[in-house]
Structure 1
Amino acid sequence: MFLGLERKRTRQGESSRGKKKKKTSEIISTSELPENDGILWMSSLEAKLKNARETGEKKPTAEKLEQLRQEKINHFRNKHKINVQGTDLPEPIATFEQLQKEYKIHPKIMQNIESAGFQVPTPIQMQAIPVMLHGRELLASAPTGSGKTLAFSIPILTHLKQPMNKGFRALIISPTRELAGQTHRELVKLSEGTGFRIHMIHKAAEAAKKFGPKSSQKFDVLVTTPNRLIYLLKQDPPAIDLTRVEWLVVDESDKLFEDGKSGFRDQLASIFLACTSHIIKRAMFSATFAHDVEQWCKLNLDNVILVSVGARNSAAETVEQELLFVGSETGKLLAMRELVKKGFTPPVLVFVQSIERAKELFHELIYEGINVDVIHADKTQQQRDNIVHSFRAGKIWVLLCTALLARGIDFKGVNMVINYDFPTSAVEYIHRIGRTGRAGHTGKALTFFTEDDKPLLRSVASVIQRAGCPVPEYIKHFRKLQSKQKKKFIKKPLEREHIRTMPQYFLEKGKSKKKIIQKNTKEKKKAKASKENAQLQTAPES
């Protein structure tokens, strides 16, 4: 059939060269579409078809139109480094205005997007928003600071349409209180003027009364950490009802899916079982693409779409990355002091591998004449909130923290991240350095490494190299770790020497002196108390 058509076209070309020229120009005008048009939608193609009819030109076939449309979409995705897997893929958006035209987004939400200064969607927003607006389940991965929160907030509020007194209809799970608080703030800003009630669990006991079975059910969206929610679900009867949840979003999904102490896999399973609505949709967001999360989504989510931006598990290109060999633990402290001596531009985040080491480094740096503080899980929630607030306000120049804080917190304008202790995996490294170079700004990441860190070097060096930053040649030839070894390092990080400059002899001497003083004070208090008792007993006799 195609051969017959080809012969027919040849005969027509021979009889009329003019017509052939006309046809060629028509094909060029259809395919050479202006770059700034974003995506060529069907509506604009139909308009072109109408024009063709009016001018008497031969119209392109439906197959040709579909082919052109698909080419345009693929070109757009490639341009913005958007990778998509799945069937019946919704088309990406090029501007926020398209949301109002194509999806009838609430005018107040559109106004709030504009007021917040968001002019053009980021690549993850271009694809993730349409996917969720089509009611499709999603696993999305994009570099830190690329606007993932807005990517799920807009579809959730659009899907809910208006406030209802039916209880929670959307649930967002975050691994840390700080990240949950940040998501809550952004949702409140975005929903301003729409009437939606966005809640966050601060104290589980208070929440039990507020959201329990006897409550008025006047709430719409809940943002929380897994532990607080599990506490409420385990009450008898459950102190919270999740049976009407229509959208469940898991933020930093790779962290929540980890096994072991810092993971939340079991709690997440309980939360999933509590969300029993037959119309529930789920979306997973993270800065890294964990293989086990991907496999779980493919098995458990309905017709899931996978969206990733840029190379998988890569760091943001806005961050200048550097590896620095310091020899030993003492070398780290010397390098840190040298950095302070040379001068730096605050704010700076410094990551260490444990709470004990964070405390030790704090005691070493507090005498360096810089505004330094430390944040970790041993501090109360109020203390943590105050520290985060002071750091954001510029009162703290250097903030020492552990790895969990690396998850998703948007510290505005962090100029530098220092990995004092080497990260246990490439994924952890990406999350740590993702605190700088956010929302298009530039930043710097400096990573100290010692002889003991050599087994872990290769995977982190690969991330640095992929981002176009220099890596010493000898590191490229190090052996790659096997998956069993990688898991071992994640579960049991390296044992490191204590961070201190004072010799052990003086420390022991100081400790023993402190014990003697405490013992003497105790004895004095005891003697004073017994003397007072004796006086009380003799008083009535006189």
Structure 2
Amino acid sequence: MKKFESIDLYAPLQRALAELDYVTPTPIQAKAIPPAIAGQDVLGCAQTGTGKTAAFALPILDYLGHEKPRARPNRPTTLVLAPTRELAIQIGDSFRSYGKHMKFHSALVYGGVGQNGQVNSLRRGVDVLIATPGRLIDLMDQGHIDLRDVEIFVLDEADRMLDMGFLPALKKIIAALPSQRQSMFFSATLAPKIRELAGSLLFNPISINVTPKKKSVELIEQRLRIVRRDNKVSTLTSLLTGKNVTRSIVFTRTKHGANALVRKLDKSGIQAVAIHGNKTQNARQKALHAFRNDKIKVLVATDVAARGIDIDGVSHVVNYDMPVEPESYVHRIGRTGRAGQDGIAISFCTGDERDELRAIESLIGQKIQVENPEEQFEAPSGKPKQRGGRGGSGGGRSGGGRPSSGRSQNQRSGSGQSRGRSGNKNKRGFTSNSRSNGQSSRSASAR
């Protein structure tokens, strides 16, 4: 798949892509879209910013366009699970953008806002449900969502799901899904726990790995600045007022720290806004809108924003506090250097944070260049380190492919091959997933 026009996508979908100037697919799109259209399960290793939303959204919309399922009240055909509200909203925007010339119904379900509007949207009928796990389970428990008709399931940013403690929620959602379905599973890493989870969700998946972790961070210019605890604010202020700093995300370890830093920057004449788990959904969306539209140049965030925020043009990421988990470093700095643009990540390191620095350098397999090697680390303070809270929601699971639908590319060209799956899948961790033999309930002739 070298060009979008080379694949037989639903015509209104191709029209939207042409209007969006989508010509050449990214690697994850080129490798994932054809098997996904053919109905195969997909295991994709790809970080945010690589175009993976289109990698699953386009096959889903292509299926909806050809099969034209009815949007049933409270019973979605497709379920996409995301770990954070911000990512869920962005995925919803992408579906609307790609499917603007199509007739389909989508709904967003996430916490932090009242549920009445979401419930009403579900009652009007839904083809594509995009959800985070907390609110999804709440509405399932209240009888507002029935997942028995789900034919396509997508679990996005699976590693973030596990990091945020959503495994119990995933198990509950998984148990409510039918065993006959197509599943797509995306993660920035494929650690053993992620592979175990994927093994319980997927049936003979196509495995795609386009973003090795080391390679991704090597594309970003990384710098380290040795600082004293009492000089952090002045060092940051000097950095943010530099002429080459156009749009910055500054990461703190705690929510209180983020709020305090915004106040200090404001006193220094730098407009900034904080985003973290204690902010209301409206406040978070307002902050992101101001940052995206250049009304605010500095976004101060905790790790809740390290993923799921896809904003181009971030020139600098600053680790004001070193992250406790080294993996968070990779997710943080990945907010810059996106879409082929240059990006710079600068980390402030005090004497208390040298252990975190060593863990990060071990993970990424390289030493971070020190900007001021003449500076000596001050003695550790001896105070216990605080760990920042996490926020957001998401989750999901799959146990195999949708029943054979005859939607394969071969069948499009008349070969008559079916997309069906047969045989039994043994119990693997969550539920027993069986696939019956037989003919597809959906065929190309239905189109």
TM-score w.r.t. the length of structure 1 is 0.64
Contact 2:277 2:304 in 1 (8 A): no
Match of 1:122?
26
Contact 1:375 1:387 in 2 (8 A): yes
Name which of 245, 255, 269 aligns with 2:150: 245
CA distance in 2, matches of 1:111, 1:368: 49
Q: Does 1:301 align with 2:209?
A: no
RMSD: 2.3
Contact 1:371 1:395 in 2 (8 A): no
Contact 1:373 1:396 in 2 (8 A): yes
Contact 2:272 2:299 in 1 (8 A): yes
Contact 1:359 1:374 in 2 (8 A): yes
Q: How many angstroms does 1:311 deviate by? A: 2.5
Q: How many residues align?
A: 369
Match of 1:452?
352
Name which of 241, 246, 269 aligns with 2:171: 269
Name which of 108, 125, 144 aligns with 2:48: 144
Contact 1:433 1:445 in 2 (8 A): yes
CA distance in 2, matches of 1:334, 1:318: 28
Contact 2:251 2:318 in 1 (8 A): yes
The AA in structure 1 aligned to 2:119 is A
Q: How many angstroms does 1:463 deviate by? A: 5.5
CA distance in 2, matches of 1:405, 1:447: 17
Deviations 1:481-526 (A, max 9, x none): xxxxxxxxxxxx9339xxxxxxxxxxxxxxxxxxxxxxxxxxxxxx
The AA in structure 2 aligned to 1:187 is F
- With over 3 angstroms needed to count, the CA separation of the structure-2 counterparts of 1:313 and 1:263, relative to structure 1, is farther
The AA in structure 1 aligned to 2:153 is L
Structure scoring higher RCO (CA < 8 A, sep ≥ 6) equals: 2
Name which of 284, 288, 296 aligns with 1:384: 284
CA distance in 2, matches of 1:257, 1:495: 21
Match of 2:386?
495
Q: How many angstroms does 1:208 deviate by? A: 3.3
- Indicate the structure (1 or 2) with the bigger Cα radius of gyration: 1
CA distance in 2, matches of 1:291, 1:395: 42
Contact 1:209 1:239 in 2 (8 A): no
Name which of 79, 82, 102 aligns with 1:194: 102
- With over 3 angstroms needed to count, the CA separation of the structure-2 counterparts of 1:182 and 1:465, relative to structure 1, is same
Name which of 231, 235, 246 aligns with 1:335: 235
Match of 1:369?
269
CA distance in 2, matches of 1:454, 1:434: 22
Contact 1:350 1:417 in 2 (8 A): yes
Q: How many angstroms does 1:297 deviate by? A: 1.3
Contact 1:406 1:432 in 2 (8 A): yes
Contact 2:214 2:365 in 1 (8 A): no
CA distance in 2, matches of 1:130, 1:423: 38
CA distance in 2, matches of 1:411, 1:299: 33
Query: Which secondary structure state, in structure 1, belongs to the residue aligned with residue 354 of structure 2?
Result: helix
Q: How many angstroms does 1:470 deviate by? A: 5.4
- With over 3 angstroms needed to count, the CA separation of the structure-2 counterparts of 1:463 and 1:112, relative to structure 1, is farther
- With over 3 angstroms needed to count, the CA separation of the structure-2 counterparts of 1:294 and 1:413, relative to structure 1, is same
Query: Which secondary structure state, in structure 2, belongs to the residue aligned with residue 199 of structure 1?
Result: strand
Match of 1:204?
115
Q: Does 1:413 align with 2:309?
A: no
Deviations 1:73-101 (A, max 9, x none): xxxxxxxxxxxxxxxxxxxx22212212x
| Worse-matched range after superposition: 444-453 or 394-403 | 444-453
The AA in structure 2 aligned to 1:292 is K
Q: Does 1:183 align with 2:91?
A: yes
The aligned runs of 1:149-164 (5 Å cut-off) are 149-160=53-64, 161=66, 162-164=68-70
Gaps of 5+ in 2: 374-383, 388-447
Q: How many angstroms does 1:308 deviate by? A: 1.0
The AA in structure 1 aligned to 2:351 is E
Q: How many angstroms does 1:287 deviate by? A: 2.5
Match of 1:435?
335
- With over 3 angstroms needed to count, the CA separation of the structure-2 counterparts of 1:451 and 1:314, relative to structure 1, is farther
Contact 1:288 1:313 in 2 (8 A): no
Specify which structure has the higher proportion of helix: 1
Name which of 296, 302, 322 aligns with 2:223: 322
Contact 1:349 1:414 in 2 (8 A): yes
Deviations 1:343-385 (A, max 9, x none): 4422110011110111111121111112211112222211111
Contact 2:153 2:183 in 1 (8 A): yes
The AA in structure 2 aligned to 1:179 is L
The AA in structure 2 aligned to 1:437 is G
Q: How many angstroms does 1:190 deviate by? A: 0.4
Contact 1:288 1:312 in 2 (8 A): yes
Q: How many angstroms does 1:455 deviate by? A: 1.9
Q: Does 1:289 align with 2:190?
A: yes
Query: Which secondary structure state, in structure 1, belongs to the residue aligned with residue 348 of structure 2?
Result: strand
CA distance in 2, matches of 1:346, 1:106: 40
- With over 3 angstroms needed to count, the CA separation of the structure-2 counterparts of 1:346 and 1:137, relative to structure 1, is same
The aligned runs of 1:473-492 (5 Å cut-off) are none
Q: How many angstroms does 1:233 deviate by? A: 1.0
- With over 3 angstroms needed to count, the CA separation of the structure-2 counterparts of 1:265 and 1:314, relative to structure 1, is farther
Contact 1:461 1:471 in 2 (8 A): no
- With over 3 angstroms needed to count, the CA separation of the structure-2 counterparts of 1:316 and 1:125, relative to structure 1, is farther
Query: Which secondary structure state, in structure 1, belongs to the residue aligned with residue 349 of structure 2?
Result: strand
- With over 3 angstroms needed to count, the CA separation of the structure-2 counterparts of 1:409 and 1:208, relative to structure 1, is same
CA distance in 2, matches of 1:382, 1:300: 34
Gaps of 5+ in 1: 1-92, 476-492, 497-542
The AA in structure 2 aligned to 1:411 is I
- With over 3 angstroms needed to count, the CA separation of the structure-2 counterparts of 1:310 and 1:200, relative to structure 1, is closer
The AA in structure 2 aligned to 1:232 is L
The aligned runs of 1:164-179 (5 Å cut-off) are 164-166=70-72, 167-179=75-87
